[in-house]
Amino acid sequence: MTGTGTQVIVGLEVHCQLDTRSKLFCGCSTDYRNDGPNTHVCPVCLGLPGSMPVLNKKAIEYAMRVAKALNCSILHESEFSRKNYFYPDLDKAYQVTQYDKPLAEGGYLEIEGDEGGEKRVRLTRIHVEEDPGRLVHMGNAERGKYSLVDYNRAGIPLIEIVSEPDMRSPKEARKFLNKLRATLEYLGVFDSEKEGSIRVDANISIVGSERVEVKNITSYKGVEKALNFEITRQKNLLRRGLKVDRETRHFVEARGITQSARSKEQEHDYRYFPEPDLRPLHVRSWVAGIVLPELPDARRERFIAQYGCSLNHARTLTGELKLANFYEKVVAADPKGLATPAATWIADTLIGELNYRDMSLDSVDTRNFTGLVRLLNEGTITDKSGVEVLRVMLDQRHTKVPCETPEEIVARLNLAKTAGDGGALLGIISEVIAENPKAVEDYRNGKNGALNFLVGQVMKKTRGRSDPGELNRMMVESLKNKEG
Ligand SMILES: [Zn+2]
């Protein structure tokens, strides 16, 4: 057990863009990513004098869905406030956010903890706010000549989810984010594939020392990297008898390091006050009307009960909405036969092959993948050939139209198992026995490794098309016959 001085404490503040069609306080479209700068703007989101905000009801509904799913208590009256500060991406010189009366408080999210089993990470609060605009640096931030500002993002609805400092490692922080992402996707309020749709501030400290805030981490992997860097940095300071300063640091994604922000951001006086243009928000009558869909934990348990998935497979498959849907589509054709092989092939093989190619699940043809699992399940091809067929299928997605079906690939590459073709296989076995007298003698002298060697030689000649179990049996049989 780790004692004082090494135990790590992590808390997260996660900003997620809600996937509404229009912005939080105006009718501008949120679908700005492929359009030119400052094309999704109006007097409201540009903060022009005299313009008045109108609250987007959908955004509040989405936020309440999240609050309910995360077991928070939704406050019957919440309030918007102005957070005043000057920065070029903030056209009004204040951000409309929620301060002392947030939408929801408390709640928790369950993750798979480092010590095994489910672990509850408590939440402090969830509040709604508007996204600021975006600065585009010409050149890079330090040496660029100038920066441009794009207000397309200004006014996009965000929720900020603040956790208690309940995580004990960067890995737990990653699991928290993954689970949060999955939950938001299941709720239909968030699109994780949109660039910049999630941003994280992480608080991290070593027990007994000051807390450091790392700001504006913009990727899931970045969170783990930033935390690992901070742990090493803070532990090194302590080892050298120095102290960790309480400060704000920025994560430099490209270099995988954090840098002191060198400003007194934490000492800012934001002069919060209630937003006079918006009335307090009363949601009492809405709460009961919010019906939640099946969430990741429930789906995981269902996969175990309905399809006989192992806990690990069920966790992996339900960890992303798309993946869970894909699995159920594949299995639908023949739940009894395909449930187990499909779980294994998706969780253990497909995901790895996709990651290796930097491909998304969208590029996998469900029908062809189902065909492949069928061939494996019926024993037409070996696992080794299955991987080969899968790789051909994935590689063809970008080069060949239309793609071959798995059956066509098996036929073209002559990958069907040779076991059915007993005569030919027996011939190869005899050949191998004749070519390796030493190994045959070793086998007769009771060296079991010799059998594996001989089987391996046959596998080589048949290019992995033989079923290893079947081949083993035939080899033993042949050796016995030769002896007789
Ligand atoms: Zn607007």
Q: Would you give the end-to-end CA distance of the chain in angstroms?
A: 62
- The CATH 1.10.10.410 portion of the chain extends over 422-482
Task: Give 288's pLDDT tier (boundaries 50, 70, 90).
Answer: confident
Contacts of 452 (CB under 8 A, 6+ apart): none
Residue 281 CA to ligand 1 centre (angstroms): 21
What pLDDT score does 311 carry? 95
Higher pLDDT, 313 or 455: 313
Residue 67 CA to ligand 1 centre (angstroms): 26
Buried b (16+ CB within 10 A) or exposed e, 321-351: bebbebbbebbeeeeeebbbbbbbbbbeebb
Apex 344 CA angle, 341 and 348, nearest 5: 150
User: Does 420 have pLDDT greater than 70?
Assistant: no
What pLDDT score does 431 carry? 87
Residue 454 CA to ligand 1 centre (angstroms): 73
Residue 147 CA to ligand 1 centre (angstroms): 22
Residue 92 CA to ligand 1 centre (angstroms): 13
Specify the range with the lowest mean pLDDT, choosing from 163-177, 214-228, 381-395, 413-427: 413-427
User: Does 484 have pLDDT greater than 80?
Assistant: no
Tokens 């086998």 identify what position? 443
- CA-based Rg of the chain, rounded to a whole angstrom? 29
Higher pLDDT, 431 or 228: 228
Provide the pairing of β-strand 212-217 with 247-252: parallel
Residue 134 CA to ligand 1 centre (angstroms): 15
Contact 16, 1 (CB under 8 A): no
Enumerate the β-bridge partners of residue 15: 160, 199
What single letter denotes the amino acid at residue 47? G
Residue 74 CA to ligand 1 centre (angstroms): 28
Contact 247, 212 (CB under 8 A): yes
Residue 346 DSSP one-character state: I
User: Does 217 have pLDDT greater than 90?
Assistant: yes
How far apart CA 367 and CA 340 sit, in angstroms, is 17
How far apart CA 478 and CA 484 sit, in angstroms, is 10
Residue 22 CA to ligand 1 centre (angstroms): 8
What pLDDT score does 5 carry? 67
Residues 237-271: tens digit of each pLDDT: 999 999 999 999 999 988 999 999 866 555 568 88
Provide the pairing of β-strand 157-163 with 8-17: antiparallel
Residue 170 CA to ligand 1 centre (angstroms): 38
The two structure tokens encoding residue 186: 């299941």
What is the average per-residue pLDDT within 280-292? Answer: 91
What pLDDT score does 238 carry? 94
Apex 296 CA angle, 295 and 301, nearest 5: 105
Residue 290 CA to ligand 1 centre (angstroms): 28
User: Does 9 have pLDDT greater than 80?
Assistant: yes
Report the residue count for the chain: 484
What pLDDT score does 419 carry? 52
What single letter denotes the amino acid at residue 255? R
What pLDDT score does 263 carry? 61
Distance of CA 72 to the CA centre of its chain: 23
User: Does 333 have pLDDT greater than 60?
Assistant: yes
Handedness of CA 419, 421, 424, 426 (dihedral sign): positive
Residue 48 CA to ligand 1 centre (angstroms): 10
Residue 26 CA to ligand 1 centre (angstroms): 5
Nearest Cα residue to 202 out of 366, 72, 330, 13: 13
Residues 425-469: tens digit of each pLDDT: 778 888 899 899 999 999 888 887 898 899 888 888 877 777 777
Cβ count within 10 A of residue 377: 15
Residue 162 CA to ligand 1 centre (angstroms): 27
How far apart CA 265 and CA 277 sit, in angstroms, is 27
3-state secondary structure of 390: helix
Element (H, E) at 16: strand 8-17
Residues 38-49: tens digit of each pLDDT: 999 999 999 999
User: Does 347 have pLDDT greater than 80?
Assistant: yes
Residues measured by CB to lie within 5 Å of ligand 1, the ion: 26, 28, 42, 44-45
What single letter denotes the amino acid at residue 55? L
User: Does 421 have pLDDT greater than 70?
Assistant: no
What pLDDT score does 266 carry? 53
Enumerate the β-bridge partners of residue 16: 159, 198
3-state secondary structure of 268: coil
What pLDDT score does 458 carry? 86
Nearest Cα residue to 432 out of 416, 451, 414: 451
**Domain at 422-482: CATH code:** 1.10.10.410
Residue 98 CA to ligand 1 centre (angstroms): 20
Residue 80 CA to ligand 1 centre (angstroms): 18
Residue 375 CA to ligand 1 centre (angstroms): 54
Task: Give whole-number Cα distances, 123 to 68, 182, 203, 287, 293, in Å.
Answer: 12, 17, 14, 19, 21
Residue 43 CA to ligand 1 centre (angstroms): 6
Residues 48-81: tens digit of each pLDDT: 999 999 999 999 999 999 999 999 999 999 999 9
State the burial class of residue 13 (Cβ atoms within 10 Å of its Cβ: 0-12, 13-18, 19+): middle
Find out whether the peptide bond into 468 is cis, omega within 30 degrees of 0.
Answer: no
Residues 144-186: tens digit of each pLDDT: 788 899 999 999 999 999 999 999 999 999 999 999 999 999 9
Handedness of CA 129, 130, 131, 135 (dihedral sign): negative
What pLDDT score does 106 carry? 98
What is the pLDDT of the chain when averaged over all its residues? 91
What pLDDT score does 3 carry? 42
